[in-house]
Amino acid sequence: SQELEQSPQSLIVQEGKNLTINCTSSKTLYGLYWYKQKYGEGLIFLMMLQKGGEEKSHEKITAKLDEKKQQSSLHITASQPSHAGIYLCGADIIQGAQKLVFGQGTRLTINP
């Protein structure tokens, strides 16, 4: 099993709807990254969170790291076709080691 669990693994939403993707670990997360990947392409950096309770937004995407630093959520407001792709969370699970592991990804489809 992977150190980071993402849910759901697959998500289909109607264009314009809001959605949330979760990333959970049984261990403390030191440095939490969110990436997006278009099918068959490279990875696009979205955001990095480090402090418990931290929240960052970019355009219609908001990411938050909970106070215990064991769960992060990625929220997309008013989804658009351009949001479609695979979303990956990654984190350093050993403080200071920079051993960065990733979840299994969430495949997002936006229906018009």
Partner 1 sequence: DAGITQSPRHKVTETGTPVTLRCHQTENHRYMYWYRQDPGHGLRLIHYSYGVKDTDKGEVSDGYSVSRSKTEDFLLTLESATSSQTSVYFCAITGTGRLGRELFFGEGSRLTVL
- State the residues that interact with partner 1 by CB under 8 A: 2-3, 6, 9, 31, 33, 35, 42-43, 45, 48, 88, 90, 97-105
Instruction: Considering the complex, state which of residue 78 and residue 100 has its C-beta at the smaller distance from partner 1.
Output: 100
Rounded CA-CA distance 73/48 in Å is: 12
| Integer-rounded Cα radius of gyration of the chain | 13
Label the pairing between strands 106-111 and 10-14: parallel
What's the closest the beta carbon of residue 78 comes to partner 1, in angstroms? 26
Distance in Å, CB of 42 to partner 1, minimum: 5
Distance CA 26, CA 35 (A): 21
Of 18 and 20, the one with the shorter C-beta distance to partner 1 is: 20
* Smallest separation (angstroms) from partner 1 to the CB of 102: 4
3-state secondary structure of 82: helix
